[in-house]
Chains A and B, each alone.
Chain A
Amino acid sequence: MQMPVPDPAILAKKAAIVAALRAVLPADAVIDDPFETRAYECDALAAYRTRPLAVVLPRSTSEVAAALKVCHRHGVPVVPRGAGTSLAGGAMPSADAVILGVARMSAVLEVDTANRFVRVEAGRTNLAVSAAVEGEGFFYAPDPSSQLACLIAGNIAMNSGGAHCLKYGVTTNNLMGVTLVTMAGEVLEIGGPYADAGGLDLLGVICGSEGQLGVVTEATLRILPKPEGARPVLIGFDSSEVAGACVADIIRAGVLPVAIEFMDRPCIRATEAFAQPGYPDCEALLIVEVEGAEAEIDEQLGLIRQIAMRHAPVEFREAQSDEEAKRIWLGRKSAFGAMGQINDYVCLDGTIPVSALPQTLRRIGEMAAAAGLEVANVFHAGDGNMHPLILYDANREGDLERCEALGADILRLCVEVGGCLSGEHGVGIEKRELMSAQFTRADMEAQMRVKDVFDPGWLLNPAKVFPLEVSAARRG
């Protein structure tokens, strides 16, 4: 992965920059010791590492603004960081950049169940947002797999999704307002606990801008009343095509489950060996979850059973207890761990039209065979968001490169069949150079013009999202 050459002028000024940061921040909020900054050398795309110039860990919006003003004045790039769980390298530093971490800002500022929102500092974890309102019978809907660790700040930067977004939408559909600090250190309130923007929907473009437009320090989030109950069913099929057809029929029948998850045989076998969820050994497996009171669940599952039976499943297993429900989800939830036990892997994140599912799976199988690599598929079938896991051996010369080349080919395939490069992980550095496969130069120019407005000097997370050649003139 190519990164721009660090600016030697900035590297030479390190002492002055750190001193300027120390002058406006508490002593423990600025880290420049090269042993300590090492903790920030990568995010969850751990194959790539660079130690940042320095790290700042502010405790308030005003400290964030003060730090940004210093960096702005010195022309130092800033890489915002949440919990460092980005799979796309969104929080990966460069040697001439200051990491600005918001993890110390985790307070709940306001819980308002009458108006159904919560206001939190953006360094709070996703799961802790739900925890703050569950006593009142509410929850925060977007549920990325990393929700125990990932921060709302990162969720907003990447517009994170999760397994349940077929019904509840992704971050942008549940975000009502933010406090945003611009690169120049200006503090802006955008949106709030009311519907829609009065002017342009700036909130809509801030969400998913990968930390390139500003640093979000507070967020107003929509909360929803918890459903009375939920129940999953497991449906096994002897072909991926039939499983795909079953998904299509469920959706066409007017049932909108809260989640439809799909696993293929390599993934089923790996999770069975790892966690013993008791899955059938079949070609494709669906987990369909519906919500409501007992009678409502029975009504929906009755319909789903009727539809599934038309496709002659090898198994239809309805959870009869909480214990059985947990076991059905156990395999799905341990899929990444199971694959990780077999080997190193790269997790892709392309989305395809649901109708293109069978042909895309077949092509991925052929491409993997040609590359001599193993691929397991696990994904959100209701919305077409695929997560092919490509297994490789990091200790074997050239394996990572072959794996990345296959990954790029698979993502190009996703675009070719009408989909996109990333459904929920973001572009970061990982998919940056592939953007040209999905977008024209004019499309990318339009996006970069938005950054020109928010961050004219291109100092915020500059070498991300856009192909380096495309953003070169702006990055200077």
Chain B
Amino acid sequence: MRPQDERELAAAIRDAAGPLRVQGGGTRGLVGAGEVLDTTGLCGVRLYEPAALTLVVGAGTPLAEVEALLAGEGQRLGFEPVRWGPLLGASGESTIGGVVAANVSGPRRVRAGAARDALIGVRFVDGRGEVIKSGGRVMKNVTGYDLVKLMAGSRGRLGVLSEVAFKLMPAAASEATLLLEGIGVGDAVAAMAAALGSPYEVSGAGWMPGLGAMLRLEGLAESVGYRVGRLGELMQRFATPRIERAGSAALWRDLGEVAPLHHCAGDVWRFSVKPSEAPGIVARLGVPVVLDWGGGLIWAVLPEGTNARAMAAPYSGHATLMRGCGVASEPEAPGVAELGEALRAKFDPRGIFGEGLGA
């Protein structure tokens, strides 16, 4: 099934006899059984007002199309959506609805927030086949419950998105990256904490094996120049930074896509933790990792079937198995899990959305 508009989408869900497998760009791999519901027909720009930093777009619109449109006006999605296709061994081009459903946020999350923070409105069809909207097209809106946030990252388990609205950011006039080459994970996490705790508006803080720590500054040219100098001084106690300008964007694309781990065989794990816990977790895992979000996000590839959660413990936060077999999401505390299950039962009483997107 490939509905062309919201009405067809609602009909398809209302009339569904059994489970549906909702598919956007097909970048995540589908789990479970059932008829495929392809969302790519729900595409197109509904409204773009650059002067209001507002975009409303069909959920099945390709991410690349959205990015190209915004770039033409010197704007972007602040949360820096990243493509995990190569890491997860999937092909296809992400849809903007898929990005929202998985709350995919890149390195700039430390400064600009996650996809859920940029999302200001949704329209979706729940498991009963009813069209529901929440939020809207204005960036300040507390009218009624914020189902927008609930839908972001819900992985299609509550409903199928038909339309999404974002608060946009201006693209940066210039950027530079400070590289602290060769420093290890422990020093890197300390350096990133110092950088992110400085007033220099660091918009990316990561670590890649074979390279070291990387810190990004973006903004007006003179401002970036000034902050490169000040942050450089602050980082002297860790390493003398090398300044990368021309190659900066490529470095952050590599980090977002977790390029250093593309060639590794095994299960792909993603840990979202308190940043200061990262050195301990990395030591306990004992495999090559990539760090983002100042250490708050750890990517690791472990031998197939490894119980990575047990190996990494203790940590706050959660670990997700992104590629491989096993329990994908971290089991939640009992009371919290019950609330989640009860919400799913309310929005999808027939259970037709199953497990939703593959983790």
- A residues near B (Cβ < 8 Å) are 112-116, 137-138, 158-159, 161, 165, 169-170, 172-173, 182, 186, 188-190, 192-205, 207-209, 225-228, 248-249, 251-256, 292-293, 295-296, 299-300, 303, 351-355, 380, 383-385, 418-427, 431, 435, 438-440, 442-447, 449-454, 465
Contact between A351 and B141, CB atoms less than 8 A apart: yes
Please give, as numbers and ranges, the residues of chain A lying within 8 Å of B158 by CB-CB distance.
200
Shortest Cβ distance from residue B254 to the other chain A in the assembled complex, whole angstroms: 20
Complex Cα gap A196–B113 (Å): 10
Complex Cα gap A204–B136 (Å): 16
Please give, as numbers and ranges, the residues of chain B lying within 8 Å of A435 by CB-CB distance.
143-144
Contact between B74 and A201, CB atoms less than 8 A apart: no
Contact between B317 and A192, CB atoms less than 8 A apart: yes
Contact between A450 and B223, CB atoms less than 8 A apart: no
Complex Cα gap A262–B178 (Å): 39
- B318 an interface residue at 8 Å Cβ cutoff? yes
Beyond A202-B339, A424-B140, list 12 extra A-B contacts (CB 8 Å).
Answer: A173-B117, A192-B274, A204-B146, A207-B149, A209-B145, A292-B223, A293-B226, A293-B230, A300-B220, A419-B136, A439-B143, A443-B144
Shortest Cβ distance from residue B129 to the other chain A in the assembled complex, whole angstroms: 10
Complex Cα gap A439–B133 (Å): 8
Stretch at the interface among B30-38, B241-249, B260-268, B329-337: B329-337
**In the complex where A194-B296, A196-B153 touch, is A207 in contact with B146 (Cβ < 8 A)?**
yes
Q: Which of B54, B142, B347 contacts A422 (CB 8 A)?
A: B142
Contact between A195 and B144, CB atoms less than 8 A apart: no
Mark B126-156 against chain A: 1 for CB-CB distance below 8 A, else 0.
1000111110111111111111111011100
**In the complex where A200-B343, A225-B198 touch, is A438 in contact with B149 (Cβ < 8 A)?**
no
Q: Which residue of chain A has its CB nearest to the CB of B114? A: A196
Contact between B220 and A161, CB atoms less than 8 A apart: no
Complex Cα gap A345–B89 (Å): 61
Contact between B275 and A208, CB atoms less than 8 A apart: no
Q: Which residue of chain A has its CB nearest to the CB of B318? A: A198
- B310 an interface residue at 8 Å Cβ cutoff? no
Contact between A248 and B52, CB atoms less than 8 A apart: yes
Shortest Cβ distance from residue B21 to the other chain A in the assembled complex, whole angstroms: 20
Please give, as numbers and ranges, the residues of chain A lying within 8 Å of B131 by CB-CB distance.
442
Complex Cα gap A384–B136 (Å): 13
Stretch at the interface among B11-19, B80-88, B165-173, B206-214: B165-173
Contact between B150 and A419, CB atoms less than 8 A apart: no
Contact between A420 and B136, CB atoms less than 8 A apart: yes
Contact between B154 and A200, CB atoms less than 8 A apart: yes
What would be 16 A-B contacts, judged by CB atoms less than 8 Å apart?
A115-B275, A115-B276, A170-B142, A194-B318, A195-B296, A195-B297, A226-B199, A251-B52, A295-B223, A296-B222, A380-B140, A385-B138, A385-B140, A442-B130, A453-B342, A465-B144
Q: Which of B126, B272, B339, B346 contacts A195 (CB 8 A)?
A: B272
Complex Cα gap A420–B120 (Å): 12
Please give, as numbers and ranges, the residues of chain A lying within 8 Å of B197 by CB-CB distance.
113-114, 116, 137-138, 225
Please give, as numbers and ranges, the residues of chain A lying within 8 Å of B346 by CB-CB distance.
449-450, 452-453
**In the complex where A200-B343, A443-B132 touch, is A383 in contact with B317 (Cβ < 8 A)?**
no
Shortest Cβ distance from residue B59 to the other chain A in the assembled complex, whole angstroms: 17
Shortest Cβ distance from residue A168 to the other chain B in the assembled complex, whole angstroms: 10
Q: Which residue of chain B has its CB nearest to the CB of A136? A: B197
- B50 an interface residue at 8 Å Cβ cutoff? yes
Contact between A431 and B143, CB atoms less than 8 A apart: yes
Please give, as numbers and ranges, the residues of chain A lying within 8 Å of B169 by CB-CB distance.
256
- B40 an interface residue at 8 Å Cβ cutoff? no
Q: Which residue of chain B has its CB nearest to the CB of A354? A: B52
Contact between A299 and B74, CB atoms less than 8 A apart: no
Chain B: residues with Cβ within 8 Å of the partner, total of 84
Mark B88-116 against chain A: 1 for CB-CB distance below 8 A, else 0.
00000000000000010100010001101
Please give, as numbers and ranges, the residues of chain A lying within 8 Å of B146 by CB-CB distance.
159, 172, 204-205, 207-209
Please give, as numbers and ranges, the residues of chain A lying within 8 Å of B150 by CB-CB distance.
200-202, 204-205, 450
- B293 an interface residue at 8 Å Cβ cutoff? yes
Q: Which of A158, A418, A439 contacts B137 (CB 8 A)?
A: A418
Please give, as numbers and ranges, the residues of chain B lying within 8 Å of A170 by CB-CB distance.
140, 142
Contact between A204 and B152, CB atoms less than 8 A apart: yes
Please give, as numbers and ranges, the residues of chain A lying within 8 Å of B282 by CB-CB distance.
none
**In the complex where A188-B333, A252-B50, A293-B226 touch, is A195 in contact with B170 (Cβ < 8 A)?**
no
Complex Cα gap A292–B230 (Å): 12
**In the complex where A194-B316, A418-B137, A438-B144 touch, is A449 in contact with B152 (Cβ < 8 A)?**
no
**In the complex where A194-B316, A205-B147, A449-B347 touch, is A228 in contact with B199 (Cβ < 8 A)?**
yes
Please give, as numbers and ranges, the residues of chain B lying within 8 Å of A293 by CB-CB distance.
226, 230
Contact between A423 and B141, CB atoms less than 8 A apart: yes
Lowest 4 CB-CB distances: which A-B pairs, in order? A204-B149, A198-B318, A194-B317, A248-B51
Please give, as numbers and ranges, the residues of chain A lying within 8 Å of B182 by CB-CB distance.
none
Shortest Cβ distance from residue B97 to the other chain A in the assembled complex, whole angstroms: 16
Please give, as numbers and ranges, the residues of chain A lying within 8 Å of B54 by CB-CB distance.
353
Q: Which residue of chain A has its CB nearest to the CB of B198? A: A225
Mark B154-195 against chain A: 1 for CB-CB distance below 8 A, else 0.
100110000000000111010000000000000000000100
Please give, as numbers and ranges, the residues of chain A lying within 8 Å of B147 by CB-CB distance.
205, 446-447, 450
Please give, as numbers and ranges, the residues of chain A lying within 8 Å of B173 by CB-CB distance.
254
Complex Cα gap A383–B52 (Å): 8
Q: Which residue of chain B has its CB nearest to the CB of A294? A: B226
- B314 an interface residue at 8 Å Cβ cutoff? no
Contact between B140 and A423, CB atoms less than 8 A apart: yes
Most buried by B among A173, A300, A352: A173
Shortest Cβ distance from residue A49 to the other chain B in the assembled complex, whole angstroms: 24
- B203 an interface residue at 8 Å Cβ cutoff? no
Please give, as numbers and ranges, the residues of chain A lying within 8 Å of B275 by CB-CB distance.
114-115
Shortest Cβ distance from residue A203 to the other chain B in the assembled complex, whole angstroms: 8
Contact between A420 and B52, CB atoms less than 8 A apart: no
- B290 an interface residue at 8 Å Cβ cutoff? no
Shortest Cβ distance from residue B141 to the other chain A in the assembled complex, whole angstroms: 5
Please give, as numbers and ranges, the residues of chain B lying within 8 Å of A453 by CB-CB distance.
339, 342-343, 346
Q: Which residue of chain A has its CB nearest to the CB of B135? A: A420
Complex Cα gap A272–B203 (Å): 41
Shortest Cβ distance from residue A240 to the other chain B in the assembled complex, whole angstroms: 16
Shortest Cβ distance from residue B38 to the other chain A in the assembled complex, whole angstroms: 24
Q: Which of A202, A225, A303, A352 contacts B336 (CB 8 A)?
A: A202
Q: Which residue of chain A has its CB nearest to the CB of B149? A: A204
Complex Cα gap A442–B147 (Å): 13
Q: Which residue of chain B has its CB nearest to the CB of A298? A: B222
**In the complex where A188-B335, A442-B131 touch, is A200 in contact with B138 (Cβ < 8 A)?**
no
- B352 an interface residue at 8 Å Cβ cutoff? no
Shortest Cβ distance from residue B14 to the other chain A in the assembled complex, whole angstroms: 13
Please give, as numbers and ranges, the residues of chain B lying within 8 Å of A431 by CB-CB distance.
143
B205-234 at interface with A (beta carbon < 8 Å): 219-220, 222-223, 226-227, 230
